[in-house]
Structure 1
Amino acid sequence: MKLAPVFWAFTSLQSLVTALSIAEINGNTFISLLSGKEVTDVTGLLIAKGPNGVWIRSTTPDDDEATSEAIYVFGRNVTAALTVGDIISLDGKVTEYRSNANYIYLTEISSPKNVQVVSSGNEVTPLVIGKDTLSPPTVQYSELDGGDIYSLPNAVANISEVNPVLDPAKYGLDFWESLSGELVTVKAPRAIKTPNKYGDTWVVGDWEITGENEHGGVTMSDKDSNPEVITIGSPLDGTKNPTDSKMGDQFEDITGVVQQTFGFYAILPLTALKTTTLATAAAPPTTLVSQGKCKALTFGSYNVENLSPTSAHLPDVAGHIVEYLKTPDLVFIQEVQDDSGPTDDGVVTANGTLTALVGAIKSRSNVTYAFAEVEPASNEDGGQPGGNIRVAYIYRPEVVSLYKPNQGGANDATEVVAAQGKNNSDRAPALSFNPGRIDPANAAWESSRKPLAAAWMAKGSKKPFYTVNVHWSSKGGGTSLHGDRRPPINGAVDARMAQANVTGVSSNFHCG
């Protein structure tokens, strides 16, 4: 590991660091080597104001792409009397701040004092990303990921402990850190996902992008989780970003400051995002067509997100199955709640939920689905307390039907039953419970939904086919892709690996 250069001198009595540039304070690492030191006579151009501080840019920039020329000055007492375009000098303390132990630290100057306005009315010009700066790297996040952000084990190193020298041309986190505190402009920004409830929106600009897809978003691939995308956070002027934008929407050019906030690098815009061009559609419908028999069947999968008979989004789910999935012959459904939804009243049946869903589908398409599920034991399958989520199937009975149906219970483990009989349909393996759960007593499924296996016979077929509907443990509990721990912690990875092994090679689900 290369050692970062040391950029300061100080008096042994007062430990004061004097007359340094902002680039020297930031240094070329994530953590400033001056952290905890008092600095004096720091001079910079005020480039943006926020509710709790200001951002200043060095008036004596260096030529090192790894050192940011800007820094955040935290102090509510300094903002009111200052104006963007002021060149100021101040004293303060170099501080590394984060609100969560899993976040990357933000280098800032805190407790500012002796703030002096040197001059006013100076021009403030943002740096255009990819033109005045390097372009964001497109594959790797950090040298501490070992070449693969998804590799195991997780959290083998912390950025805050190793404090690597920045390589902004190669690593995404290093790139955004090298611009920390800077006023930047994103040209031709495009939303690559829907915003969160606060209006924070992930975008890409006019730089190189990997994994672009036909929906207007970007697709993650092996070892590539797109470090070139950046989130646009809360506007500094108190306005609100739109919360109804969608994947593929285009915005006006965005200008704001780069800041590590809530576990991610973000650009905090000077004012709210403004949409210029709306995407034509959220997603194109499928072009797959069923022949209504075994030669060409259509399948779909839909996580219906805590669906109950009274869910406000139930009509949307039905509409999506009709309009986008084109009423597949067989649909794998996840997160079906019981008939009373999240009310913890001992109800476990989802007959009402599934009846409401297939009824809503029929009203839009005149297609009548049947459904198959196995009721869980109350509060044993995780999810929203009282909701009793489970996986289920809906299917078009004129096209497919359960092969030798024999529905199991919550604790019944289905097994493959050897073929019996002389007829073609009897010479195929069956399931002891159809539909039935896979090894529901296994510890891998503690407080988690159990997979549902089923055997089916398609119209015109002489032999059945088999499906397993899975919804493994939530990946909650992981850490940010932009976080301190490298590689990031993949929440529930151990539980999901155990569940994958049980699903694939369970001794209770094999053909003898």
Structure 2
Amino acid sequence: MASSLPRTAAVSAVVATALAAGLIAGASASAADPSTTLRIHDIQGSTRISPLVGQRVTDVTGIVTGVRTYGSKGFWLQDPEADGDPATSEGIFVFTSSNPTVSVGDAVKVSGTVTEYVPGGLNSGNQSLTQISKPTVAVVSSGNAVPAPVTITAGSVPAAYTPDGDPAAGGSVNGLTLRPQSFALDYYESLEGTNVRIGTSRVVGASAHSELWVTVKPHENANRRGGTVYGSYDAQNTGRVKVQSLTPIAQKPFPTANVGDALTGETEGPLDFNQYGGYTIAARAMGTVEDRGLEREATRPQHRSELAVATYNVENLDPTDPQEKFDALAKAVVDNLASPDIVALEEIQDNNGAKNDGTVAADATLKKFTDAIVAAGGPAYEWRSIDPENNKDGGEPGGNIRQVFLFNPERVSFTDRAGGDATTATGVVKERGRAALTVSPGRIAPADEAWENSRKPLAGEFVFRGRTVIVVANHFGSKGGDESIVSHHQPPNRSSEVKRLQQAQAVNTFVKDVLAVQRHAAVVVLGDINDFEFSATTEALTDGGALRAAITSLPRSERYSYVYQGNSQVLDQILTSPSIRHFDYDSVHINAEFAEQNSDHDPQVLRFRP
């Protein structure tokens, strides 16, 4: 949570605020009727919000199914006698704030306050986790059998992801009665806190931060490398589930897994809900990772008459990074990307990285990188870029990230036109019947509010075999601030789209200006667009036929450059103007699917004959 309060206090504040705002339903904080014996399914209720939220409950019984001694400390309690209602969970999390004094298999009685904890805070839009807070716990007996797990399978998870939210509740699903046989999110919610199990499952999100993602639906939007492709806002991939271990990392290192590997055997534990991905198996027992041998791809070299243009987000590269990172990225440019003629780099930081001292130059970063490329057997790339104003382009404070063109002078030349700086906009003029930039390199409309606190597009004019090609390198605004696909608002609020839409419109306008001067101009727009090929952002970029999203030339199962929460998806793109009718496109998978990464993005390569 954003709050600096201890979690117990923060939980109470969240509940109070939510109740006051009508965001969650519940009674005032009073004791439940002592004459009624309350069971866990009574507390959970048949919606996402407990009907007893804010009330104190006494002597709630169950068997301990999992204990967490790190992070959000507490334990899971489950009633071994179900009520027969598939919408009501028989398990619940008991938040103790300190190391629990119970063990798996203990039969206990718990008294405390029913709360709805919203991971990430109310403004995140996340669903809440029903729990018992400020508990008093009495152990009745030990060594009891844990309630048999519910097995999550391809057949048990519905094909539809979520119902639409209630318009009368601002689009929230919180008040809707759960329909676990109809919607995947309702199914998982009906098992919140319950002991669950999965069998052998394919890994669809590489291990990181002591977690991995698997799918229980191996045929759901699968690609040939083992991932699960996110192809539209209505294809959220219902079979994905996150797995964490309840064993602290200090006691047992989390296994390393790549996309396409298998988590074999049985994985079992309570179903948690957290800020980073939603429903998560807090594994009391984990299966074994089986290496399925996923290999990093290498694209083919360009032919002599083909111009190869690539984009690569190198993830906050600066001279303070270890030489090993520079060497690995350089090796990727040479061996995996076959030394493209032009490489648009995103996230090149200034000469001292995140040190916030006013430094904006990045020549030391670029020299270290281009030297590493030469050492890896690649060409002696030259570079062109424009230093940003200090702390005006977003990203890590002090880092001053920017886009940069690398180009191989043995294959392509750069047309330098002086005058470009952080605040000067490049324009388009006609020169000998062709479109030409007024400054090269130059920034597109840097004063436009679309680029406030964001990376400004970098335009450059290149010549290949006597043909002029205008290239625009981009790094659009991030998705930070968007609600997740497990938000209680359905559909989720994607607020970050507003800025990217403005940015796309600005770039589209620039490309149209070029085409108005020279109808058949060769224009390549590329970079970390931070949005999908089916998004409104991409629609705005391609408006009026000014550009085509080249990644759509690939089969749907191969359209991805990034893996997020088990969804293989598009963030990096190359778009082409209409005169570039024939091209060869490759999303080169070398990072996003792997536990060991040099960047979290996969580079993209376009080859064509201008």
Alignment partner, residue 179 of structure 1: 191
Q: Distance in 2 between matches of 1:450 and 1:469?
A: 9
Q: 1:130 aligns with which of 153, 162, 179?
A: 153
1:266-345 matches, cutoff 5 A:
266-271=280-285, 273=286, 275-281=288-294, 283-286=296-299, 288-293=300-305, 296-312=306-322, 313-345=325-357
Matched, 1:49 2:60: no
Moved more, 212-221 or 437-446: 212-221
Matched, 1:25 2:43: yes
Given the two structures, how large is their TM-score scaled by the length of structure 2?
0.70
Q: Distance in 2 between matches of 1:328 and 1:216?
A: 28
Q: CA deviation at 1:129?
A: 1.0
Alignment partner, residue 215 of structure 1: 225
Q: CA deviation at 1:91?
A: 4.7
Deviations 1:3-45 (A, max 9, x none): xxxxxxxxx9973362344333322210122223444554433
Runs of 5+ consecutive residues of structure 1 not aligned to the other structure? 1-11, 147-154, 421-426
Q: 1:105 aligns with which of 117, 128, 131?
A: 128
Q: Distance in 2 between matches of 1:356 and 1:76?
A: 47
Q: CA deviation at 1:436?
A: 1.4
1:81-480 matches, cutoff 5 A:
82-99=102-119, 100-101=121-122, 102=124, 103-113=126-136, 115=138, 117=140, 121-122=144-145, 124-130=147-153, 135-137=156-158, 140-144=161-165, 156-160=170-174, 163-196=175-208, 198-205=209-216, 207-223=217-233, 224-236=235-247, 239-242=251-254, 244-252=256-264, 253-262=266-275, 264-271=278-285, 273=286, 275-281=288-294, 283-286=296-299, 288-293=300-305, 296-312=306-322, 313-403=325-415, 405-406=417-418, 408-420=420-432, 427-459=433-465, 461=466, 463-480=467-484
Indicate if the aligned counterparts of 2:244 and 2:280 stay in contact, CA closer than 8 A.
yes
Q: CA deviation at 1:358?
A: 1.7
Q: CA deviation at 1:122?
A: 3.4
Q: Distance in 2 between matches of 1:145 and 1:291?
A: 56
Q: CA deviation at 1:449?
A: 1.3
Q: Go from structure 1 to structure 2 and tell me whether the alpha carbon gap of 1:468 and 1:139 turns closer, same or farther (over 3 Å shift).
A: farther
Q: Go from structure 1 to structure 2 and tell me whether the alpha carbon gap of 1:234 and 1:13 turns closer, same or farther (over 3 Å shift).
A: closer
Secondary structure in structure 1 of the residue aligned to 2:78: strand
Deviations 1:421-471 (A, max 9, x none): xxxxxx321111122111112122122111011222222x4x322221110
Secondary structure in structure 1 of the residue aligned to 2:207: coil
Q: Distance in 1 between matches of 2:192 and 2:321?
A: 43
What amino acid sits opposite 2:464 in the alignment? A
Alignment partner, residue 58 of structure 1: 79
Q: Distance in 1 between matches of 2:401 and 2:269?
A: 42
Identity fraction in percent: 32
Moved more, 101-110 or 298-307: 101-110
Secondary structure in structure 2 of the residue aligned to 1:359: helix
Q: Distance in 1 between matches of 2:355 and 2:32?
A: 63
Alignment partner, residue 88 of structure 2: 67
Indicate if the aligned counterparts of 1:30 and 1:105 stay in contact, CA closer than 8 A.
yes
Q: Go from structure 1 to structure 2 and tell me whether the alpha carbon gap of 1:145 and 1:298 turns closer, same or farther (over 3 Å shift).
A: farther
Q: Distance in 1 between matches of 2:228 and 2:503?
A: 29
Matched, 1:488 2:502: no
Q: Distance in 1 between matches of 2:54 and 2:301?
A: 65
Q: CA deviation at 1:164?
A: 1.2
Matched residue count = 474
Q: Distance in 2 between matches of 1:90 and 1:413?
A: 66
Deviations 1:122-164 (A, max 9, x none): 3643222118xx5334552442299xxxxxxxx953344xx21
Q: CA deviation at 1:200?
A: 2.3
Q: CA deviation at 1:175?
A: 1.9
Q: Distance in 1 between matches of 2:511 and 2:145?
A: 74
Indicate if the aligned counterparts of 2:456 and 2:474 stay in contact, CA closer than 8 A.
yes
Indicate if the aligned counterparts of 1:414 and 1:509 stay in contact, CA closer than 8 A.
no
Indicate if the aligned counterparts of 1:104 and 1:159 stay in contact, CA closer than 8 A.
no
Given the two structures, how large is their TM-score scaled by the length of structure 1?
0.82
Deviations 1:35-71 (A, max 9, x none): 2344455443333333444323333323332221222
Q: Go from structure 1 to structure 2 and tell me whether the alpha carbon gap of 1:323 and 1:507 turns closer, same or farther (over 3 Å shift).
A: closer
Q: CA deviation at 1:179?
A: 0.7
Rg comparison, structure with higher value: 1
Q: Distance in 2 between matches of 1:73 and 1:484?
A: 22
Q: Go from structure 1 to structure 2 and tell me whether the alpha carbon gap of 1:322 and 1:168 turns closer, same or farther (over 3 Å shift).
A: farther
Q: Go from structure 1 to structure 2 and tell me whether the alpha carbon gap of 1:47 and 1:431 turns closer, same or farther (over 3 Å shift).
A: same
What amino acid sits opposite 1:451 in the alignment? P
Q: Go from structure 1 to structure 2 and tell me whether the alpha carbon gap of 1:378 and 1:209 turns closer, same or farther (over 3 Å shift).
A: same
Q: Distance in 2 between matches of 1:386 and 1:119?
A: 55
Q: Distance in 2 between matches of 1:395 and 1:143?
A: 49
Q: Distance in 2 between matches of 1:485 and 1:492?
A: 16
Runs of 5+ consecutive residues of structure 2 not aligned to the other structure? 1-29, 518-610
Alignment partner, residue 423 of structure 1: none
Secondary structure in structure 1 of the residue aligned to 2:376: helix
Q: CA deviation at 1:93?
A: 4.0
Indicate if the aligned counterparts of 2:106 and 2:139 stay in contact, CA closer than 8 A.
no
Q: Go from structure 1 to structure 2 and tell me whether the alpha carbon gap of 1:209 and 1:259 turns closer, same or farther (over 3 Å shift).
A: farther
Q: CA deviation at 1:343?
A: 3.0
Alignment partner, residue 152 of structure 1: none
Q: Go from structure 1 to structure 2 and tell me whether the alpha carbon gap of 1:135 and 1:410 turns closer, same or farther (over 3 Å shift).
A: same
Matched, 1:502 2:502: no
Deviations 1:321-350 (A, max 9, x none): 122212122211111122233333443332
Which 4+ stretches in 1 moved above 6 angstroms?
A: none
Indicate if the aligned counterparts of 1:439 and 1:508 stay in contact, CA closer than 8 A.
no
Secondary structure in structure 2 of the residue aligned to 1:158: coil
Deviations 1:198-257 (A, max 9, x none): 31222223x355332233322211112334312223415664552743333333432111
Q: CA deviation at 1:403?
A: 4.3
Indicate if the aligned counterparts of 1:74 and 1:109 stay in contact, CA closer than 8 A.
yes
Q: Go from structure 1 to structure 2 and tell me whether the alpha carbon gap of 1:84 and 1:14 turns closer, same or farther (over 3 Å shift).
A: closer
